[in-house]
Amino acid sequence: MTLAKIAVIGAGMAGLSLANALQPYAQVSVFEKSRGLGGRMATRRRPECTFDHGAQYFTIRDAGFHAALEGAIEAGTVQAWNAPLMKTGAYGTSERLQDRAPRFVAAPGMTSLAKLMARKLDVQCDQRIEALEGQKGAWFLITPQARLGPFDWVISTAPAPQTLALLPLSEPDAEALSGVRINGCFTLMIHLPDAADLPFSASQIDHPVLSWISANQSKPERDPAHCIVVHANNRWSDAHLEDEPEAVRALMLDTVRDLVPSVAWETALSVDLHRWRYANVETPLGRPFLMDRDLQIAACGDWCLGNRVEAAFLSGKALAETLMARFKEERS
Ligand SMILES: Cc1cc2nc3c(=O)[nH]c(=O)nc-3n(C[C@H](O)[C@H](O)[C@H](O)COP(=O)(O)OP(=O)(O)OC[C@H]3O[C@@H](n4cnc5c(N)ncnc54)[C@H](O)[C@@H]3O)c2cc1C
């Protein structure tokens, strides 16, 4: 019996966990619009420094997630990040936070885990899927250069608003997806000279403009260069999403200066800004995935269950299990 041909849109944690689980039961191809893998588990490389400018770390609470990561932990691609976590108040006061769960990172950069997960998969980068054509059992993916297919199933792992624009969803599914809310986030990446450094490794920030500052080099296997990652508050980011990047950069930098005055920020070697239009899930779907069995289209991602790398994994895994059960049933 021929295996079902499945197109997965997106090579982040959800897409890669889904594709890995489905691989023995189907012919899976993953299409990613970016040059690299990992989605919001992202690493920006500069000649002398690197920044994890998306997800900062992840937790491993679920036994299935732990089992899936065992090989990566053994290989050292996933390591604990034991640096103390602080909380900084709006007036610069800092206190140590009690760790609620161990924090893990991929090494040497957040994208390293995606690269490992993609090793045995057919993943095609630089493939922006702009539309879907066809019908159940014969779907085609439209990119600026090509018409890819046919595929029996198409699964989108793009953030909810992008999935909504892409898939021909039924009215109830489209309505459910419209209720998902994902906040934006601005990220500053600051390269400091060796003489300057943060007085802590990582800190949540309780402030109307900023929410996080960390020293990337405090994570395992990073470059020793002083690479500081600063996230803006989600609410503030949403309100300023369309502002001039230069104005956002200046305001974030001024706020960092006020909050951590002991650092000579004016000596920074570079300051880059990144805008995440869809960063953190505020209102999830509330179920692990969306699936239209009649049309043979589906969607999964962190936005189904919550705002975490682990949620993205669990969503991909849940959809894969349901599809595998269906493929086994069709075979018997
Ligand atoms: C600034 C920031 C900080 C965060 N901090 C943390 C944290 O500390 N801990 C934590 O657990 N989580 C954190 N997160 C959330 C975490 O990164 C996500 O929950 C998780 O990575 C989502 O994985 P995903 O596969 O669902 O989605 P994504 O990683 O977004 O993957 C979707 C992929 O689809 C691709 N794509 C989209 N549209 C198309 C298209 N049309 N054609 C082809 N490809 C397409 C995208 O390029 C992307 O690679 C953070 C996120 C951000 C942005």
Residues of the chain with CATH 3.50.50.60: 1-37+118-180+284-332
Asked whether the CA dihedral 35, 81, 20, 329 is positive or negative, the reply is negative
Per-residue pLDDT, 139? 98
Q: Residue ranges of the chain with pLDDT lower than 70?
A: 1
30, 10 Cβ separation under 8 angstroms: yes
38, 59, 255 from 102: Cα distances, Å: 21, 6, 29
Ligand 1 atom nearest 42 alpha carbon: 17
249, 164 Cβ separation under 8 angstroms: no
| Domain covering 43-62+81-109+182-282 assigned CATH 3.90.660.10 in the classification | yes
311, 302 Cβ separation under 8 angstroms: yes
For residues 87 and 228, what is the distance between their CA atoms, to the nearest angstrom? 16
Per-residue pLDDT, 200? 92
Per-residue pLDDT, 100? 77
Q: State the distance from the centre of ligand 1 to the C-alpha of 279, rounded, in angstroms.
A: 7
Give the mean pLDDT of the chain: 95
Which residue puts its alpha carbon closest to atom 37 of ligand 1?
A: 158
Ligand 1 atom nearest 143 alpha carbon: 42
User: pTM of the full predicted structure?
Assistant: 0.97
| Domain covering 1-37+118-180+284-332 assigned CATH 3.40.50.720 in the classification | no
pLDDT tens profile 29-79: 999 999 999 999 999 998 889 999 999 999 999 999 999 999 999 999 999
Q: Which of 288, 276, 279 is nearest to 176 (CA)?
A: 288
Residues of the chain with CATH 3.90.660.10: 43-62+81-109+182-282
